[in-house]
Structure 1
Amino acid sequence: MMYTISRQAVFFCFASFLILLFYFNFFRIYQVRENSMEPALFNGQKIVTVKNSPVHNGDIVVYENPEDHRLVVKRFLLSPGEPVVISNGILMTQAGNVPLTARQIQLLSSYDSIPDDMFFALGDNIYNSHDSRDYGPVTIENIKGKVLLF
């Protein structure tokens, strides 16, 4: 009887270790700390991300802000090589038109397209979001994960 309990305990510990190893290598839980993704995500909401997953236009990602290095949650809007088209103060994308301020127009006008290994991120709450309109395209290496569950 004692042998069986010890064997079960070892199996349980080993299985738990494997599950935790898998989880920490592939997934991460974050808490949203801003209102820039409303109505999709709310301040204080917990999200699950998957690391090293292919990211496509429209996906929500967690990445390191290139200005202050804090983690932010935004929508992956434009991929490397996609054109940056600005007309009458509006950034034209397949997902929709995004209004720009004069400062944002000046910054983004220097790009004909999104550079290789970079992406353009945008908060869903466009009037309350500090994103690629303000600091330009972000290096894909800055992505910490694609949001899976929210």
Structure 2
Amino acid sequence: MTKSNDRSKSKWMRINLTISQIINFAIEIVKTAAIMLIIAFAIKNFLIQTFVIEGVSMEPNFHDNEYLLVDKISYRFSAPKRGDVIVFNPTDSPDSYIKRIIGLPGETVKIVNNKIYVDGYKLDEPYLPDAINTNTSSQSLESKIYVLQDNEYFVIGDNRQNSKDSRVIGAVNFSQFEGRVFVIFYPFNHLRLI
């Protein structure tokens, strides 16, 4: 063989090797992207989801356009507790709601003179500032009694005068829960654990 044939053959081997490397690199990128998509899908559908607040029903603790992280797994291992802030999907709306759990399955919730009683005891609400107006609604729902069945929860907005909650839509079944709010992550100056 001549030197020019050797150089030509060597050049083609380098080009073939380079094309092979590019193809292998592209295959690795596609595999990595597919794995990342599968992981992201699993996280969003089974572990954590984001939620954006629209409205003022949870003020003063949560504000319009805040971004939250919702834990979708903890209620598979432990029961919801009074005071938990949840995201749920009401039967009468395509939108999800954010509210606070006030009443648990088997309890009786009664609203009298703008005060909430659970099984006859006035509800202590340390998450509400003392100065907040806790009028339960601009609607006529005074002295109403709600008896919760198995898997039913009474949920209410912290901003009682501007909240469409169990006083209007009724008890929320556990099957409607999307998860428990555990972090406000945006805007960054509002960042906190719940």
Q: What is the identity, as a one-letter code, of the residue corresponding to 1:73?
A: I
Partner of residue 116, structure 2: 91
**CA 1:67–1:47 in 2, change beyond 3 Å: closer, same or farther?**
same
Q: Verify: 1:103 aligned to 2:135, yes or no.
A: no
Q: Verify: 1:130 aligned to 2:164, yes or no.
A: yes
Q: Is the 8 A contact 1:60 1:147 kept in 2?
A: yes
Note the C-alpha offset of 1:8. 4.5
In the alignment, the residues of structure 1 paired with residue 53 and residue 95 of structure 2 have an alpha-carbon distance, to the nearest angstrom, of 12
Note the C-alpha offset of 1:71. 1.6
Partner of residue 39, structure 1: 60
Q: Is the 8 A contact 2:136 2:161 kept in 1?
A: no
Q: Is the 8 A contact 1:91 1:99 kept in 2?
A: no
Note the C-alpha offset of 1:133. 2.0
**CA 1:43–1:127 in 2, change beyond 3 Å: closer, same or farther?**
same
Partner of residue 70, structure 1: 95
Counting aligned pairs with the same residue, the percent is 25
| Equivalent position SS for 1:149 | strand
Note the C-alpha offset of 1:123. 0.7
In the alignment, the residues of structure 1 paired with residue 27 and residue 102 of structure 2 have an alpha-carbon distance, to the nearest angstrom, of 52
In the alignment, the residues of structure 1 paired with residue 172 and residue 32 of structure 2 have an alpha-carbon distance, to the nearest angstrom, of 43
Q: Is the 8 A contact 1:119 1:139 kept in 2?
A: yes
Q: Is the 8 A contact 1:75 1:122 kept in 2?
A: yes
Q: What is the identity, as a one-letter code, of the residue corresponding to 1:95?
A: D
Q: Verify: 1:29 aligned to 2:45, yes or no.
A: no
- Between 127-136 and 36-45, report the one with greater CA deviation: 127-136
- Between 2-11 and 125-134, report the one with greater CA deviation: 2-11
In the alignment, the residues of structure 2 paired with residue 24 and residue 120 of structure 1 have an alpha-carbon distance, to the nearest angstrom, of 26
Structure 2: runs of 5 or more not aligned: 1-17, 126-133, 185-194
**CA 1:4–1:95 in 2, change beyond 3 Å: closer, same or farther?**
farther
Note the C-alpha offset of 1:30. 1.6
Higher RCO, Cα 8 Å, sep 6+: 1
* 1:10-25 aligned within 5 A: 12-25=32-45
Q: What is the identity, as a one-letter code, of the residue corresponding to 1:76?
A: I
**CA 1:19–1:90 in 2, change beyond 3 Å: closer, same or farther?**
same
RMSD across aligned C-alpha pairs, in angstroms?
2.8
- Between 80-89 and 46-55, report the one with greater CA deviation: 80-89
Q: Verify: 1:61 aligned to 2:86, yes or no.
A: yes
Q: Verify: 1:147 aligned to 2:168, yes or no.
A: no
